[in-house]
Amino acid sequence: MEGFTEIVEGKTKLLVPALSLTERVPPKTPAFFNPAAKLNRDLSILTYRVFAPRLKERTLADGFTGVGARALRVAVEVPEIEQVYGNDANPSAIEAATKAAELNGVSSKCRFSVDEVCKFLLKGNYKEERFGIIDLDPFGTPARHVDCVLRAVLDSGLVSITATDTAVLCGVYPKVCRRRYYGRPLNNSYGNETAIRLLTSLIALTASRLELAIRPVFAHATMHYLRVYAQVAVSSSEANDVYSNLGYVRHCFNCGHRLAVTEYEMDKCELCQHGMRTAGLLWTGPLQDRELVAKMAEGADEKCNKVLDAAAGEIDVPYYFKADEISSKMRASPHSIAKIIEKLQAAGYRASKTSFNTGAFKTDARIDRVLQALS
């Protein structure tokens, strides 16, 4: 195809726009392909490979497939998935995906279409049945498509949803965030985790309206990508319990105190008496299925393992502390993350690395007690 070139990602041959390999910002014409999103795709392959044995129907739908990078990699590298459906509104992208399927010898396993994403999802597979896995990786916000994704996934299936409107979710445009995600963001040092939890809350609330419940199994934030993987169950009783995993995070921009609460509050900081800012409504429950993440790590390369190793041991606290933030308050050189965790655990607190920031840690200790334990 004119303007396209063949590359290999993972074990899969792809036909991608030549300019996408040389331009700083990948162009959308003749089709979109982002080489920098390889880690995102690598992690999805590992997730689907481990999750596939749990599926009743081993099918995958990729609603914004582009040139088919993720869909084709699943077809080639995840043999447990029996049928892959890829869709895009760009005919040139679908032509490239179709030809790449032939190059990889997986044409019989792949079905590609040109359609609006919700129309594609709600048509279902060739039997007009729902899909076992649905992957949604749009430009910007996924908010307008979450309802369609949840309506199109099978009971006990998996949805994986990406958001790239990080400026909105991380607090630069709070009014837009409240409109799209029904929650207030925080523009602070752990804003990317708050963003992930706002996205997860939107998925959970939308699911509950449809008599569904979600259970996140893996989430990560890399570069400008926020991504949540969640298993979906048809259960009105579990849908009724959605608020048991939702709440708020309060943050003091004066002393750095932070905590999770179940109700919206306007109290002053208990440590310094300054006013606090509140984020939410957001997901405060677990984001990582440790068993699944540990299995993913067994087949991972070094880059993926950095994310997965932290995720597998991450404690369920809905915020983190950056090491340089703590060292600045102590007016001392930063401790290593390993040393910080060791000292906090020795003082009787829970502590772990976090997958959301390699230079940060999680703990159930208040900030004043963190400083005390490290002094």
Residue 311 belongs to a domain: no
| Long-range CB pairs of 304-310, under 8 A, 24+ apart, other chains included | 304/39, 304/42, 304/43, 304/46, 306/358, 307/39, 307/43, 307/220, 307/222, 307/355, 308/43, 308/46, 308/355, 309/353, 310/352, 310/353, 310/354, 310/355, 310/358
Asked if the structure places residue 285 within a domain, the reply is no
Q: Scanning the structure block, which residue is given the tokens 């040389």?
A: 22
Question: Could you read off the pLDDT of 198-244 as tens digits, one per residue?
Answer: 999 999 999 999 999 999 999 999 878 999 999 999 999 999 999 99
| Dihedral pair phi/psi, residue 128, rounded to 5° | 60, 35
pLDDT in tens, 138-172: 999 999 999 999 999 999 999 999 999 999 999 99
User: What's the pLDDT tens digit per position in 345-354?
Assistant: 999 999 999 9
Domain total in the chain? 1
* Percent residues over pLDDT 70 in the chain: 100
Where in the chain does DSSP place strands (E)?
4-9, 12-17, 59-62, 83-88, 110-114, 131-136, 153-163, 212-222, 225-234, 246-251, 258-261, 277-283, 321-322, 351-353, 360-363
Residue 158 lies in a domain: yes
Report if residue 146 sits inside a domain. Answer: yes
Q: What is the pTM of this model?
A: 0.96
Which domain CATH number covers 213?
3.40.50.150
Q: Give residue 180's domain range.
A: 4-246
Structure confidence at residue 126 (pLDDT): 86
Please indicate, yes or no, if residue 98 is contained in any of the structural domains.
Answer: yes
Q: Which pLDDT tens digit goes with each residue over 9-31?
A: 999 999 999 999 999 889 999 99
Domain membership flag for residue 189: yes
Neighbouring C-beta atoms of residue 193, cutoff 10 Å: 28
Rounded mean pLDDT of 117-136?
A: 95
Whether 63 is in a domain gets the answer yes
3-state secondary structure 237-306: HHHHCHHHHEEEEEECCCCCCEEEECCCCCCECCCCCCECEEEEEEECCCCCCHHHHHHHHCCCCHHHHH
Residue 345: inside a domain: no
Question: What integer pLDDT is reported at residue 299 of this predicted model?
Answer: 82
